[in-house]
């Protein structure tokens, strides 16, 4: 189960699906509010978004998964494994600092890197400023967040622009961020409960808001009992798109021996 992050949709996994599909059944949904999902007015706290995935598993008749989450999808995945540990055999979190830790460390240096956390939470203003300029907004993130600013260009970039120009798409992404206070409250409820299943944390070494700013191995050691940590060189925030071969190699190695 592959859960994308911001500013992406499930299109982000286009390099992983062909590598994983010969061995595993691969499911890569759009998260609530993103891509081709509905854009409801509420329900963007990570417990509700995790329950979306739980209900999807029920419909598909799947009892246990290997769960992979990037960025916002890693927040959903982390909440899912804490609320429903019986459903997750192993967990991969990609380029993600847990929400409560971002909040805990929110000093000037962190705030400069996480400015968009605050901007996206302002009611209505982001939607008003971004409307008709989705390409400018997305171009900033894809260029600034990648080690190679030209990683997401051409047809791939236009695919994302089209997705975020759909009615309600920007509002859905903003609603995800606007749930941050509720997300932190949920995370604090079980902050002392470590994840028991095997966890792989991987991240881009060159992203200013994650690999360059935080000790990622220490952070995820605080979160998980059984941790493998893997920084990826020459990589920013989008490892699955920037360094897909390295990511696929790490995923297949971590999944080795798991038969579903």
Q: Which of 4, 120, 147, 237 is catalytic?
A: 237
- 3-state class percentages of the chain: helix first, strand second, coil last, to nearest 5: 50, 15, 40
Q: Is-catalytic flag, 120?
A: no
> Contact 35/172 with Cβ under 8 angstroms?
no
Per-residue burial over 217-232, b = 16 or more CB atoms within 10 Å of its CB, e = otherwise: eebbeebbeebbbbbb
Question: CA 153, CA 99: separation in Å to the nearest integer?
Answer: 29
13: DSSP letter? G
Catalytic residue among 177, 183, 187, 206: 177
Rounded to whole angstroms, how far apart are CA atoms 31 and 5?
8
Sign of CA dihedral 80, 89, 104, 250: negative
Spatial distance between the Cα atoms of 64 and 12, rounded to a whole number of angstroms:
23
237 belongs to the catalytic site: yes
Catalytic residue among 71, 176, 183, 206: 71
Specify the DSSP class assigned to residue 27: -
Active site residue 71: yes
User: What are the start-end ranges of the H helices in 120-238?
Assistant: 125-130, 134-144, 154-164, 169-178, 180-189, 216-223
Active centre residues (catalytic) = 71, 177, 237
């Amino acid at each position: 189960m592959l859960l994308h992050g911001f500013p992406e949709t499930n299109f982000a996994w286009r390099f992983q699906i062909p590598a994983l599909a010969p061995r595993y059944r691969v499911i890569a949904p759009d998260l609530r509010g993103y891509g081709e999902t509905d854009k409801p007015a509420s329900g963007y706290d990570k417990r509700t978004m995790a329950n979306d995935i739980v209900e999807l598993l029920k419909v598909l008749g799947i009892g246990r998964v290997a769960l992979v989450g990037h960025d916002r999808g890693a927040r959903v995945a982390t909440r899912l494994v804490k609320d429903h540990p019986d459903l997750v055999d192993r967990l991969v979190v990609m380029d993600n600092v847990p929400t409560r830790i971002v909040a805990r460390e929110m000093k000037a240096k962190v705030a400069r890197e996480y400015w968009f956390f605050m901007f996206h939470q302002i009611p209505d203003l982001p939607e008003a400023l971004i409307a008709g300029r989705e390409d400018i907004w997305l171009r900033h993130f894809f260029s600034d967040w990648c080690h190679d600013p030209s990683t997401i260009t051409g047809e791939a970039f236009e695919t994302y622009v089209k997705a975020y120009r759909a009615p309600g798409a920007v509002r859905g992404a903003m609603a995800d961020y606007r749930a941050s206070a509720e997300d932190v409250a949920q995370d604090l409820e079980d902050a002392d409960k470590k994840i028991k299943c095997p966890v792989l944390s991987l991240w881009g070494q060159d992203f200013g808001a994650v690999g360059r700013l935080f000790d990622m191995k220490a952070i995820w050691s605080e979160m998980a009992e059984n941790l493998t940590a893997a920084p990826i060189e020459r990589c920013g925030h989008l490892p699955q798109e920037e360094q897909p071969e390295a990511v696929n190699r790490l995923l297949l190695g971590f999944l080795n021996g798991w038969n579903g």
